[in-house]
Structures are given as structure tokens and as C-alpha cells.
Structure 1
Amino acid sequence: MDYNALVIGATNCQQLEQQIGSPYSLTCVDEFETLLAHAVATPCQVLIINEVITGMAAAMDWCRKLKQEDIFNDMPIVMLADRDELADRMDAFEAGFDDLIGNDAMWELRARIDRVVFNKLANAQLKAQLQQANEMAFIAMSDTSDLGVNVQFLLDCNTCNNLDELGMRLFQALQNYGLSCSLQMRSEHGIKNMEANGMAKAMESVLMEECKDQGRYVDFGHRSIMNYESVSLLVKNMPVEDDKKYGAIKDNVFSLLQGAHARVVALDNQKNLELEGTLVKQMVSQMRGQMADVDDSYQEVMRQIADVVENMADGVEESIQFLGMDEHQERALQKIMETGILDTNRIFNEGMQLDRGLKDFLNQVEHLFNAGHIDASELQRLLQ
């Protein structure tokens, strides 16, 4: 399938088209009216604005104007920018851009454009299905009030076995508030970014990651990022004109994030228990092997000791015929005995060191389990 792309501010449209590659076909324009004419005549899947040529302020104005036109309302718009700072991304997101790609990220231009295009297509395909599914889910609830929605989510999230299920449950609850959101959940074992369609958007993911430690609420324009421990939610259509509804949404949605965080922690604990079980099984197996090696080694030690003693006895027996024992004979007998004693001590010392590996491993496991909280990274290290 071929995709049409409109470009504003391209210095070399052919070079840009080669960089993006098939299946995209680029049309470069310089005027707003020309852009509208092309968009009406030929349906497009993505619009690219080169801020390096147009300037940041002009690029923002273009995007705001285009979003007011019905034909561009759902069309993904990407900015090519000279810089890629957090403030620039926030401004670009507020203006309506779907992604901002700086000069240092031009190597992934094709992948980023693919992502916004496919995300829009997935949204279009799933929008009707999600709406129908959510309506059926909430009709089954005896109480469709905000409280009822939140209580139902808190009940349902306890049955979620992974972050994907938890995220979809949360998006179902958020539909009751008419919110369009992006979600980020940070567990000990990975980070999950997702939209209501199950996919993730790069720009929104970066914003939530960089704002997760900037307070419970980060407001900019009609957008708000709500943070609670391991969960961040980017709301894209906050009703800032209605103070009462605005406050109610913040309060009610925040309780959903608290429930989601509690489930993330529970899933982490469950995963850690699984790792602990695997560790215990491996520990038992290693202990059995170590103990078998120790038994075999000590048997070999005893055999060698017997050989040494026997050799000493043979040496004494051979020397005893010289009962007259001159000085030379005494030194010979003394040397035999000293050699036997040294060999015996050496073998015993080697035997005492055989179980050092087992003791070190058991000490590490004992320290880990006595620490109270099991650290996931420490578990992974021991398993390896």
C-alpha cells in the first residue's frame, strides 16, 4: 500500500523522499492555500513540517491552523526540528503535533513516521470496536456514576495478570470520563507505554518519562500529566473551561491511578515470588551436586591419606634393618617422617577448601532472603 505525504519547508524534496523511502510518495508545498488544495485533491496519510526552514513559531502556527480544518483533524503531523528539548516537545504537543524529530534522531525518521501513521490507522480501525465494547461493559454496571466506575475498576484490576490487561482495564474506566489518554506503567521488570489501542506513541512516552518526577500534576494547555508512584497518565483533552468538571476528573482519575499502582506492585511481587521459586529450585540442585562432589572428594582424601601412611610405614620398615643407625640413617628416617607429615597436612588443607564454593553461595542466598525486601536485580544475578 502506498502512502501520500505532504511536506512544508523541504529544501530538497527528492532527497527527503529517498531518505524516507517506499511506500511514501512526497509532495512539497510552500503555501497554506497550496497545501489545502493538494490535501483536498489527493488524500494524504501524514504531514511533515520542517521547522528548520519555517521557524519554530511559524511551524506551531501552521499546525494550529491545520488542526482547525476538518481534513487535517485526524491526520498525523510530524515536525522536523533543529533541536529536541523537553520544552519544545511540550509546545509541539500542545500545538497538535504527533511527533517532533530532532537532527540527532534523523536516522530513525522512517521508523518514527511509520509509527505515527500506523498508530492513526489502528485508532481508526479500533475506535468503533472499543466504543461498542466499553458501552456494553458499562451498561452491565448497576451504577454508572463515577464512583461505580472506579469501584468496578478496582475490582477488575485484581484479576489482571500482566500490564497489558491492567492498561486496557484502565482505559475502559477512563472512557466513562470521555478522556483521550496515554499511559505509562513502570514496574521493576520493565516499562509499559500504551494508548487505548494497545500501541504506544514515542512523543507521549518521552513526555511522561521526563515528567514522572515533577509532581502529581503537570499541566500545559488542555493537557495534564498525572503521576502516582509507578503510573503516569497523559490526558490530552482536559476540560479546562469547566472548573468543576476539571477538578472532579483530577480527583476521580487519580484514584484510578492509585489502584493501578497497587496492581503494578502486586504483579512485581508475584514475579519476584516466581523468581524466588526458581532460585530455590536451582539452589537445591546445586547443593545436591556440591554435596556429591564433597563426598567424592573426601573419599579421595581418605584414600590419599592411607597411601601416605602406607608409604611412611614402608619407609620405616626398610630403614629399620639399620638398627645401628648412624647419623645418615637417622636423617633418612627423619626425612621420611617429615615428608609424610607435610603431605598429610597438604591433603587435609585441600580437602577443607572443597566446599568453599557451596558456602559462599549459601551465604549469598541467606543474606538475600534475610534482607526483608527481595531485590529483583539481585535475584537475577544469583540465577545467572
Structure 2
Amino acid sequence: MAYPALLVGVTDCQNLDQQLGSAYELTHIATIDNIHEKTMDFSVVVINAVSLGMGQAIQSCELLKQHAKYQDSSVIVLASRDELADRMDALAAGFDDFICHDSMWELKARLDRVVFNKLANVQLKTQLQQANEMAFIAMSDTSDLGVNVQFLLDCNTCNNLDELGMRLFQALQSYGLNCSLQMRSTHGVKNMEANGMAKAMESVLLEQCKNQGRYVDFGHRSIMNYESVSLLVKNMPIHDEKKYGAIKDNVFSLLQGTHARVVALDNQKNLELEGALVKQMTQKMNQLMKHVDDSYQEVMRQIVDVVETMAEGMDNSVHFLGLDESQEMAIQKIMETGILDTNKIFNSGMTLDRELKDFLTLVEESFNQKQIDASLLNKLVERMPTEH
């Protein structure tokens, strides 16, 4: 492979052609002012300060570096003498190498080394750019992961769909997205914008597309669906394929977390409703038990009065029945046994009623608390009346 080389102010071209051989494709110009006539990109530019003078050679290098396509070209100066001041001026002007006229025999080796160094620098620059891009991607992915993890942690503290929606919009702001949100709970549907309000057109669109698959893409907009959550993204980066895919992946994980919290809120609401139902039933049972207890006490009093009246009547009448003493004793014993058995049955019923009433009272007190104690629930289960 022959590298294109530009020679500026070199008069002994034939000698250089022989020295450099076929390794370089040489182009000659008298001064740097003629550079605009050349359309080729040169790997190496050799400026002859022997014929041009060091001052003009330095000026030529500075003018060459002003051209964008020659900024990465290797520039070498051929000097008539080896002076420290000239070397410093050459380095300041941007020359890559300084070759004294007495060392022309090593020109090819010096050119080769400069070219190889330039190629190595280009490769290193490319690798650095790739490394920077990879580092930026890694930093971006790490940042996105942090946003998602923080959302998943914070969403567990949300007590309703409004709080959950606003927390999701905070996470979406980290991605620079303009969105509309719909969350479908068993207790209602919540449509939201970032300001907390709902827009009619977006709400209808999300409702109609909720069963159209995971992604519904149209223009620079995309609808993402997951179970009970649908999100309309209005500013997808369609011209950046990597960012487009990353947003879909990362935002979808946010929707999964949102759905999980919606289900949790539904379960929490159902438990609250069940608790309220049990509380109301307990209160109703207490009222009913009080009414039954009052009625029961009245019935018992009436029955006792009837039994006592019957016993008194039998006692008054037994003298007129012509019974002997043993017969009277037998009848009296039967009456006493009946009264005792009746009282025993009444007392047993009163004990059962008192236990059930105490249990219902304890249940009502438990559900009146803001947070039910687990040990108290276990105690209620243990005291639950069982079938015999």
C-alpha cells in the first residue's frame, strides 16, 4: 500500500522518488498556497525549510493545519541545520518530526515511523471514543436502573392510585417523557396526566387500545400495555434506535411495578371492605342479641310464673283429692323436680347467651381499633363458638 505524500518546496524530487521508492505516492507543489489545487487527502506532508526558509516553513505548517482535512496529516520539516530554537519553533507550529538535511538517508524510516504513529493514534482515538460511548451507555443504564429501583421501593408506600400515578410520572421525568396514564382497578379506572388531571381524548385512546398487545406504535407515539396499566408516550425518540429500545425496556418494568401495586391496593381495599362488613355484622348481631336477651328474660319470667302458679295450685288442690301421704309426697316431688329442671335449663341458656354476647363485644372492639392486633385476632379465633 502506497501512502499519499505531499512535498512542499522540494526541488530535488527525483532523488526523493528514488529514496522513498514505491512506499509513498508523491505529489509536489512549490508553496503551501497551491494546496487548494489538490483534492487528495495526504497522510504525510513534507515541507522543505532548506529552500523555503524556516520562517516560511513554519508559516506553511500553520496554514496547512487550518484546513480541516489536513488536521490529522503528519507534517515533517526538512531543516538545513540542527538548531534547538528551530526545533522548538517547529514543535510549537505543529510539526510531527524535524529532520536535518544531513540525515536525509533516514528520511524513509522517519516517515514510516511518523505514519505508523499517526495510525496508532487514530486507532487509539477510535478506541477511546468507543470506550467513552460504552461508559456513557453503562452510566445511562446504571442511572435508569437506579430510577426504576427507587420507584419500585417508593410505590409500596403509595396509599391510593393518585399517589401511585404521581410517583410514576416522577420516574418518567427522568427519561424526559411526556405521557398519559391509565390504571384500571377493580374499584374504578384512573386516568392521569403529569399534572394529575385527565384528558378526554387520551383516556378514550388508552381504553380502546388496552387489549391491542404490549406495544401499539404510531409515529413518535407509543402505547405500552401491561395488565391493569396502560401508558401513552407522546415523544418517543424514533431517530435514536438504542434509546428507543432502552426506553421501552425500562418503562415496561415501571409498568410492571405499577400493576403490582394496583393489585396490592385492590387487595387492601377488599380487606377494608371485608373488615367494615364484619364490623357492621357484629354490631347488628349485638343489637339482635340484646333484643333476644330482653325477650328471653321476659319469656323466662313468664314461664317461671306459670310453673310457680301451677305448683301453688297443685299444692292447694292436693288436699281435696283424697290422696294418702305417700301419694302427696310423690306429686310434690314431681313438681319440685320440674321446677329445678326448668331453672337449670334457664341458667344454662343464660350462660350460652352471655358467652356469645361477650364474644361479639370483643369482635366489635377489635374492629374499632385503627390497626388490629394479630394476637387479638388469634384470641378471637380460639374463642370462636364451635359446634358440638
Fold similarity call, TM over 0.5:
no
Kindly indicate whether structure 1 or structure 2 has the higher relative contact order, using CA contacts under 8 Å at least 6 residues apart.
1
Structure showing greater radius of gyration is 2
TM-score (norm 2): 0.42
TM-score (norm 1): 0.43
